[in-house]
Structure 1
Amino acid sequence: MKFYTKDNYDPTTSVGFALSKARNVILAEMDLVMKDLDISGQQMGIILSMARNVASTPFELSKLLEIDTGLMTRMLDKLEQQDILARTRSVEDRRMVNLQLTEKGRHIATEIPKRAPEVLNKRLENFSNEEFLEFRRLLTKFLRA
């Protein structure tokens, strides 16, 4: 089924617009609660992914977080300059770069879960449990398409 056609498509009422706007709102609110840690909402994803051993290379992070490699490199450069992560060359393959959180990065990783839920819970406060589960299910379905 096609929900949009050239005749009924309005970018400001499309699902894409709503998802983009929702992402921007969440990132701005995450930026605020992470401000004193000197990280952004986007950087938060990198730090948590590394802390939870989900990704340890720039390529893995780019793929997981759907961030292009150029932006990922710039974000990693900034985190390295802030002494939040360190880069090392792989011993097995010198072309590969491994990432590790520094002590400061590990501390920030413990702070994120104390702050991020308040942002999401505030946005979800008018949802029933059933609505929340359905919303999450539908987003997952949308992302699999």
Structure 2
Amino acid sequence: MNHYNKRNFILTQSVGFTLAKARNLVTAEIDAALKEHDITSQQMGILLSLQRAMASTPFELSTLLGIDTGLMTRVLDKLEDKGLLARSRSGEDRRIVNLNLTEKGSRLAEQIPEIVPPVLNARLTHFSREEFTEFLRLLNKFIASE
């Protein structure tokens, strides 16, 4: 089913525009909450992904977080410069770079679940439990159709 055509397409009322605006809003609010820890929401995603063993290489992180490999390299450089992660070559395949949180990175990753949920909950204040559940269901349905 086509929901848009050349007659009814209005940029500011499109799904893409609305999703981008919502993402930008949440990202700015999370970035503000993380500012005192000198990381961004994008960097937070990397730290939590490594902490929770969801990924261990730049490629896996790129795939998981939807970040292109060039940008991923630059973000990893920043995190390494901040002393939050370390890179090491795989002993089995030198082409593979493994990523590990440093002690400082692990401590920071442990703090994130105390910082970010209040930001998200403030944005979701006017959602009932049922609306929240449906919202997540619909977003997951939307991204599953890739």
Which TM-score band (shorter chain)?
over 0.9
Provide structure 1 residue ranges, at least 5 long, that are not aligned to the other structure. Answer: none
For the aligned residue pairs, the C-alpha RMSD in angstroms reads 0.5
Deviations 1:76-131 (A, max 9, x none): 00000000000000000000000000011001101100011011100111000000
Identity %: 61
For 1:67, give the aligned amino acid: I
1:120 and 2:83 matched? no
> Where does 1:1-145 land on structure 2 (aligned, <5 Å)?
1-145=1-145
CA distance in 1, matches of 2:43, 2:11: 29
The runs of 4+ residues in structure 1 deviating greater than 4 Å are none
Provide structure 2 residue ranges, at least 5 long, that are not aligned to the other structure. Answer: none
- The structural deviation recorded for 1:11 is 1.2
SS at match of 1:86: strand
For 1:103, give the aligned amino acid: E
SS at match of 2:87: strand
If the length of structure 2 is used for normalisation, what is the TM-score?
0.98
- The structural deviation recorded for 1:10 is 1.1
Counting matched residue pairs gives 145
For 2:142, give the aligned amino acid: F
- The structural deviation recorded for 1:12 is 1.0
CA distance in 1, matches of 2:8, 2:17: 15
If the length of structure 1 is used for normalisation, what is the TM-score?
0.99
CA distance in 2, matches of 1:87, 1:51: 14
